[in-house]
């Protein structure tokens, strides 16, 4: 008898790019043996806009708003990383007042990003309610951004050398009120999910990534911390005055999807701690360092990275002494972390792939740039 297609044990299934749970336009080709995944291939680039090429054709200041469009859920962290990189190249430091406001906004953005992740991740897994809860609180963060700089998502909140906008009247009070309200809200999410039977069954032991895997693949952020490596750039190589604040690095040991959920929940609480300390002591003083009107860094190259909500976000800038960067390289955390999908998904069930994609916390705008 001749062999027919039905005899083949392997099935290739295409998922995406238009699939509600791929968080944008990610296409994953799954190789299946029954319901088990035996291999994956990510096809990315649908959102590629050539950000690095644009950077080579703009001045340093003109490129700053573009970086917000990479990880559009954490635009403030993107801007912070870029400003710090150019400042390093210019060898200037933002004044303490600017640093403190930067920390407050960056941590609020971390909360907003984690909230959006939690809502959509829960939605992927079938729990619709948390999305409405988390977006309600995210809205409060976006209101603070809107009051501060007029924009909600792509904020362009910082300038090279410090801040452009003075904080508005009642900024501290609004931020502290948010912290007060938010801690109770995190408890609410935990009541809904942490011990929820369905949630635990869908997440526990799914998509395990060991610490050795994380190191080998260059995985960073909450993913490496969920695998038991207490590594956070804010502690390891502090920037923007993070060394002044008292906070912990939450870690877990199993490295599965459930642990990554627990780490991100704990991180939101730590962010609140940092924001509280910062908002109570915003130093007086100038908000801009002495930066020339035309930014023309000396010939040289630097690599500067920050702890973005998704992991290590790095900028490698090469200056040739002119007003445009010679080379802008962005090291996006989502791109590097997405590489771990194959390792996590092998041997899992199709239904778990959705949970695993969600748990990496990717933003395709940043993966594709």
Which residues of the chain form contacts with other proteins (CB under 8 A)? 44-45, 48, 50, 52-53, 57, 88-89, 91, 215-219, 229, 231, 236-237, 298-303, 305, 312, 314, 316, 318, 326-327, 329, 331, 335-336, 338-339, 368-369
Considering beta carbons, is residue 51 or 179 the nearer one to other proteins?
51
Q: How far is the CB of 291 from other proteins (least distance, A)?
A: 16
**Structure-block tokens of residue 220:** 């960073």
Alpha carbon 132 to chain centroid, angstroms: 21
Q: How far is the CB of 171 from other proteins (least distance, A)?
A: 33
Q: How far is the CB of 254 from other proteins (least distance, A)?
A: 19
Considering beta carbons, is residue 132 or 303 the nearer one to other proteins?
303
Considering beta carbons, is residue 149 or 306 the nearer one to other proteins?
306
Q: Which helix (H) or strand (E) holds 75?
A: helix 75-90
Q: How far is the CB of 148 from other proteins (least distance, A)?
A: 31
Considering beta carbons, is residue 133 or 316 the nearer one to other proteins?
316
Q: How far is the CB of 216 from other proteins (least distance, A)?
A: 5
Q: 172-180, long-range: CB within 8 Å, 24+ apart, which pairs?
A: 172/279, 172/280, 172/282, 174/144, 174/147, 175/104, 175/108, 175/144, 175/275, 175/279, 176/276, 176/279, 176/280, 178/108, 178/140, 178/141, 178/144, 179/272, 179/275, 179/276, 179/279
| Angle at alpha carbon of residue 68, lines to 63 and 69, rounded to 5° | 95
Distance CA 190, CA 201 (A): 15
Q: How far is the CB of 331 from other proteins (least distance, A)?
A: 4
Considering beta carbons, is residue 119 or 221 the nearer one to other proteins?
221
Cis peptide before 17 (omega within 30 of 0): yes
Q: How far is the CB of 220 from other proteins (least distance, A)?
A: 8
| Angle at alpha carbon of residue 109, lines to 107 and 112, rounded to 5° | 120
**CB atoms inside a 10 Å sphere around CB 108:** 26
Distance CA 231, CA 281 (A): 27
Distance CA 15, CA 26 (A): 8
Considering beta carbons, is residue 88 or 138 the nearer one to other proteins?
88
Considering beta carbons, is residue 211 or 349 the nearer one to other proteins?
211
């Amino acid at each position: 008898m001749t062999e027919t297609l039905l005899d083949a044990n392997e099935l290739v299934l295409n998922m995406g790019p238009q699939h509600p749970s791929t968080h944008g336009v990610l296409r994953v080709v799954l190789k299946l043996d029954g319901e088990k995944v035996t291999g994956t291939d990510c096809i990315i680039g649908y959102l590629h806009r050539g950000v690095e090429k644009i950077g080579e054709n703009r001045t340093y200041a003109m490129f700053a708003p573009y970086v917000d469009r990479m990880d559009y859920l954490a635009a403030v962290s993107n801007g912070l990383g870029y400003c710090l990189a150019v400042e390093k190249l210019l060898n200037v430091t933002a004044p303490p007042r600017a640093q403190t406001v930067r920390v407050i906004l960056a941590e609020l953005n971390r909360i907003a990003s984690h909230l959006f992740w939690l809502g959509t991740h829960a939605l992927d897994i079938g729990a619709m309610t948390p999305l409405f809860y988390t977006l309600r609180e995210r809205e409060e963060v976006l209101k603070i951004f809107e009051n501060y700089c007029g924009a909600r998502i792509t904020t362009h909140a910082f300038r090279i050398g410090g801040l452009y906008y003075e904080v508005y009247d009642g900024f501290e009070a609004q931020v502290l009120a948010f912290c007060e309200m938010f801690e109770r809200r995190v408890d609410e999410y935990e009541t809904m999910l942490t011990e929820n039977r369905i949630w635990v069954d869908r997440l526990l032991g799914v998509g395990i990534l060991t610490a050795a895997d994380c190191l080998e693949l260059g995985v960073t952020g909450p993913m490496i911390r969920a695998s038991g490596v207490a590594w956070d750039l804010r502690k390891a190589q502090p920037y923007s005055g993070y060394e002044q604040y008292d906070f912990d690095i939450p870690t877990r040991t199993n490295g599965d999807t459930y642990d990554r959920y627990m780490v991100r929940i704990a991180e939101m609480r730590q962010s609140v701690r940092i924001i509280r300390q910062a908002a109570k002591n915003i130093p007086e003083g100038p908000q801009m360092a002495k930066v020339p009107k035309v930014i023309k860094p000396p010939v040289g190259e630097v690599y500067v990275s920050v702890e973005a909500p998704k992991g290590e976000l790095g900028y490698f800038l090469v200056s040739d002494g002119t007003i445009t960067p010679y080379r802008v390289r962005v090291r996006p955390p989502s791109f590097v972390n997405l590489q771990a999908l194959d390792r996590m998904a092998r041997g899992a069930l199709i239904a778990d792939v959705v949970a695993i994609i969600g748990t990496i916390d990717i933003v395709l705008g940043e993966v594709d740039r």
